[in-house]
Structure 1
């Protein structure tokens, strides 16, 4: 009975502990000798702040990174109008008077 309870506890608590450990970025060194942080989602960043800022600036010039800004609303799957903060229609809510 105790072993069944211990096994059930490990099955329930195990994935939560594993995901917490997986979120921590890893420190690594490239072939060129630069130190980087590797994130679980596949992204990486330089540890050195100056190199990281230079890389962000360079990445901003690529067209695939000039997509919808994070603060914009609308534009589902690249179709439709993008609403930026300050636009009169930004965050206006529903047009249904019952839901206002």
Structure 2
């Protein structure tokens, strides 16, 4: 029984360590010689901060990157009104008098 527990603990530790290694970004070089950082989720960014800022500005112009702001409320599944912070309806709670 003890041997089985030790083997299971060793396997679990190995899996946890492998999962931790999977999360670290890889450093790579493009064909043009630019240094980039590759993330496990498919995202990438330039290592050089000046080029990274320039790329963020270019990416912000594409319509698919213009999504709902993080602080906005509403707009479930892209349907409905987005309520921005500062709006009179922002964080108003329930309109049911029993719930106030």
**CA distance in structure 1 between the partners assigned to 2:7 and 2:79 by the alignment:** 50
Counterparts of 1:15-54 in structure 2, within 5 Å, are 15-54=15-54
Q: Where in structure 2 are there 5+ consecutive unaligned residues?
A: none
Correspondence for 1:90: 90
Q: Where in structure 1 are there 5+ consecutive unaligned residues?
A: none
- TM-score, normalised via structure 2 length: 0.83
**RMSD after superposition:** 1.9
Displacement of 1:66 after TM fit?
A: 1.1
- Counting strand residues as a fraction of each chain, which structure ranks higher? 1
Bigger Cα displacement from structure 2, 39-48 vs 21-30 = 21-30
